[in-house]
Chains A and B, each alone.
Chain A
């Protein structure tokens, strides 16, 4: 190809070459040349016009997290791209492959405080895996190739490319024959065999072993390998918030979620286990509680593709740097003969029995759904989850996107996560309120034949709900939003109730009539105030050929239990007696 192309045309061409099909963004002055060029490519490169750049960023994240492919978002210089900062930080914390493309003022005025100029490469340096400022169109083929390579390989993450307006406008003959020059970037996928054998040795001697499965299992596509591995050794499996979907909860070896709002039996098991095998999780403080008291009796095997995660929060006996799938495959290859596993198997079955006993004694999911202290309520949130859960199990073919707060923890706790990887999508590390509605837009575009359920709070919903207009404009019909509306910023209120003597400072929250708001956006809106109406509303959502919002006006002051207070040991949980009233 020796034709002249503008920088902006090269950008489109580069994206198509890398397999990008859809982008989420908003135009503006500095990025206009890209939008001008995009028009010629519109049959191959779909652009979704969002209502706020934050929405565009989260939509791209939803697309990326539900597919494993790179999500692309676009903003113009200045406020356009500063609005992208939140989703970029969110993608950094949750290791999401995201490409943020932004326009920059012309290179001749760069650094002169020009109209809508912001030093976005400076701003995003700590929250991107890498970023670029491009002032010369000749660099574009290389930079786009390198950026997408970096975003999608190793531990994935967000990459930002800031391009000056003149670089987009300049016509050049692009050279596509570029080869990556990254001597400092060589992610380790294959684990060290010696470490693999060390890990197996530890596991085989264990009496009380546990597996923690995190996001890495999902991102590397290792769910099947994890199941084989756990079944071979008969080790109980814990799934972190981002590990949900990596191991089916209906599996006899699944024991549930750990951490601040994990189950008592899971946290107790961690505190008593002798070998802890963490694959693809980063020992976030919401998982470990006070790290110095975490798993005090355990030898820890930590598998992570990012070496800097190993030993950062928790002391590790056997570090393994590698891709989760490659590591599990290596472990399966090195697996000793069945006879040698006999000791482990017999120990493991006693251990599992012990965990199940704890589960029966303490609050587990089953007791919790029908908690006695919620029975007097007109609409306890638990009823909503129970009905959605039953309906999803019955109808199948779904993904769930949650926001941040009480409703998010209830969803993780109370629903049965058996639909496989990438069916539970949430903002974990950054915990970005307002994530869910825009993220569902990206999920729905990637999976048009599935039903995408959004579960969010009334607080988070009001942060980004304008993307309902985008969803309508794009003709997306497969999104159903359930607002767990308690008129509070509920998680903060819960902390205020438990630790600050009910000083509800800044947490009571009013909202519009959400059903009417939905109607105004050409959605169907339903209001539910009583437990009896929950199932009918869900059925109506399914019967409606279009996006639906259900405003579940739940009991206002219900808490998420069990709970580990911040900085406490995960062994010390606040629980409620499920039989109490």
Chain B
């Protein structure tokens, strides 16, 4: 099955992440990664979703059924910037530290912590570059690893501007904090 990168704008209401994740699960699709955060507009969140499916059109349509979902795009074949971050705690006795430091330089990774026998390295890049880096340092012994989900943005003027979707807030001045 093909992997698809989907970018969506959603209203920032509590529970919206559960709705998105629940919908994908019950429709039988597998989430490979999901990253959510604030967009440039305070009431709208932006999420990037990577799923495996041969029926991605149905996924997009089903997502639109969620009331809080504003805009969904399958950007897999679009020109996009994709980034992922990984934080690795490596087994790093003094004998290999030098190697790790120089390898990190090659990948533009950052050493963010040095302990008695460990180092924490932070690295950001395209998903394939992140993958590559992990493979390269695996030999030293990975004690802990944390990867963020993938985030994606369409290049150039085209894309999703969250501000297009902001309407006058409800007249009561009450911002509904629902669910």
- Please tell me if A490 contacts chain B, counting CB pairs below 8 Å: no
- Does the CB pair B62–A308 fall under 8 Å? yes
**A132–B176 CA distance with the chains assembled, in angstroms:** 10
How many A-B contacts at CB < 8 Å in the complex?
Answer: 85
Q: A129-B67, A143-B178, A184-B66 are in contact. Are A308 and B172 (CB under 8 A)?
A: no
**Residues of B contacting A129 with CB < 8 Å?**
65, 67
CB of B168 within 8 A of CB of A179, answer yes
Find the residue from B22, B57, B169, B178 having the highest chain A CB count within 10 A.
B178
- Docked complex Cα distance between A307 and B60 (Å): 10
Asked if residues A184 and B170 are in contact (CB atoms below 8 Å), the reply is: no
Instruction: Tell whether A425 is near chain B: CB-to-CB under 8 Å.
Output: no
B5 to chain A: closest CB distance in Å? Answer: 20
Q: Does A183 contact B (CB under 8 A)?
A: yes
Judged by a CB distance under 8 angstroms, whether B144 is at the interface is: no
A residues 171-193 in Cβ contact with B at 8 Å? 175, 177-185
Chain B contact residue count (CB 8 A cutoff): 35
Q: Which residue of A lies closest to B25 (CB)?
A: A126
Q: How far is the CA of A136 from the CA of B58 in the complex (A)?
A: 36
Output the least CB separation between B28 and chain A (Å). 13
* Distance A552 CA – B68 CA, assembled complex (angstroms): 50
Provide the residues of chain B in CB contact with A392, threshold 8 Å: none
Chain B residues near A180 (CB-CB < 8 A)? 170
Chain B 42-70 interface mask (CB, 8 Å, partner A; 1/0): 00100000000000011001101111111
Asked if A68 is at the interface (CB within 8 A of a chain B CB), the reply is no
Are A183 and B174 touching (Cβ within 8 A)?
no
A418 to B7, CA, bound (A): 49
Does A131 reach chain B (CB closer than 8 Å)? Answer: yes
Instruction: State the CA gap A132–B67 with chains docked (Å).
Output: 12
B170 to chain A, nearest CB (A): 5
Q: A95 CB to closest chain B CB, in angstroms? A: 12
> Known interface pairs A150-B67, A179-B168, A179-B170. Does A125 touch B58 (Cβ–Cβ under 8 Å)?
no
B11 touches A133 (CB 8 A): no
Contact with B along A96-123 (1 / 0, CB 8 A): 0000000000000000000000000110
B167 & A142 in contact (Cβ 8 Å cutoff) = no
- Among A142, A183, A312: residue with most chain B CB under 10 A: A183
Q: Check: A139 CB closer than 8 A to any chain B CB.
A: yes
Task: Decide if A133 touches B22 in the complex (CB within 8 Å).
Answer: no
A225 proximal to B (CB < 8 A): no
A86 contacts chain B at the CB level, 8 A cutoff: no
A184:B18 contact, CB within 8 angstroms: no
B156-170 CB contacts (< 8 Å) to partner A:
165-170
**Cβ A184 vs Cβ B62 within 8 A:** no
| A300 neighbours in B (Cβ, 8 Å) | none
- Residues of B with C-beta under 8 A to A131: 179
Q: Is the CB of A141 within 8 A of B70?
A: no
Knowing A133-B178, A143-B178, A308-B61, say if A181 contacts B67 (CB, 8 Å). no
Render A136-148 as a binary contact track against B, CB cut-off 8 A, 1 for contact. 1011011100100
Known A121-B15, A183-B165, A183-B166: A139·B61 in contact at CB below 8 Å: no
Is B67 a contact of A130 with CB atoms below 8 Å? yes
Inter-chain contacts of A150 with B (CB < 8 A): 67
* B2 adjacent to chain A (CB < 8 Å): no
B106-151 interface with A by 8 A CB criterion: none
A182 vs B179: C-alpha distance when bound (angstroms):
16
Q: Is the CB of B179 within 8 A of A175?
A: no
Distance in Å from the Cβ of B164 to the closest Cβ of chain A?
Answer: 9
Contact, CB under 8 Å: B11 / A183: yes
Contact A138/B11 with A131-B179, A133-B179, A150-B67 known, Cβ cut-off 8 Å: no
Does B87 belong to the interface (CB within 8 Å)?
A: no
Knowing A180-B170, A184-B67 are in contact, say whether A139-B57 is a contact too (CB < 8 A): no
Contact with B along A398-439 (1 / 0, CB 8 A): 000000000000000000000000000000000000000000
**Is the CB–CB distance between B171 and A177 below 8 Å?**
yes
Q: Does A37 contact B (CB under 8 A)?
A: no
Residue of A121, A146, A181 near B167 (CB, 8 A) is A181
Task: Decide if B167 touches A175 in the complex (CB within 8 Å).
Answer: no
Q: How far is the CB of A183 from chain B (nearest CB, A)?
A: 4
Is B26 among interface residues, defined by CB-CB distance under 8 A?
A: yes
Chain A residue nearest in CB terms to B179: A133
Q: Could you tell me if B11 and A184 are in contact, using CB atoms closer than 8 angstroms?
A: yes
Q: Which residue of B lies closest to A310 (CB)?
A: B61
Interface string of B92-105 (1 = CB under 8 A from A): 00000000000000
Interface residues of A in 476-522 (CB under 8 A from B): none
Query: B90 near A: Cβ within 8 Å?
Result: no
Pick the residue among A121, A184, A308 that contacts B179 (CB under 8 A). Answer: A121
**Complex contacts, A183 vs chain B, CB 8 Å:** 11, 44, 70, 165-167
Whether A307 lies near B22 (C-beta < 8 A) is no
Which of A142, A184, A307 is B61 in contact with, Cβ under 8 Å? A307
Taking a contact as CB atoms closer than 8 A, the residue among A132, A138, A307, A312 that contacts B178 in the complex is A132
Any chain B CB within 8 A of the CB of A134?
Answer: yes
Cβ 8 A contact of A178, one of B18, B22, B66, B171: B171
Cα A402 to Cα B133 in complex, Å, equals 64
Is A373 among interface residues, defined by CB-CB distance under 8 A? no
Q: Residues of A contacting B174 with CB < 8 Å?
A: 138-139, 142, 175, 178
Flag whether A311 is at the interface (Cβ < 8 A).
Answer: yes
Q: In the complex, are the beta carbons of A142 and B172 less than 8 A apart?
A: yes
Q: Does A577 contact B (CB under 8 A)?
A: no
| Chain B residues, Cβ within 8 Å of A308 | 58, 61-62, 64-65
In the bound complex, do residue A306 and residue B176 qualify as a contact, i.e. CB atoms below 8 Å apart?
no
| Central interface residue in A121, A125, A141, A146, by most chain B CB within 10 Å | A125
Write the chain A residue with the least CB distance to B178.
A132
Q: What are 22 A-B pairs at a CB distance below 8 A?
A: A121-B179, A125-B19, A136-B177, A138-B172, A139-B174, A139-B176, A139-B178, A142-B170, A142-B172, A143-B176, A146-B176, A150-B67, A175-B171, A175-B174, A178-B171, A180-B170, A181-B170, A183-B166, A184-B64, A184-B165, A308-B64, A310-B61
Chain A residues engaging chain B, CB cutoff 8 angstroms: 121-122, 125-126, 129-134, 136, 138-139, 141-143, 146, 150, 175, 177-185, 306-308, 310-312
B residues in contact (CB < 8 Å) with A: 10-11, 15, 18-19, 22-23, 26, 44, 57-58, 61-62, 64-71, 165-174, 176-179
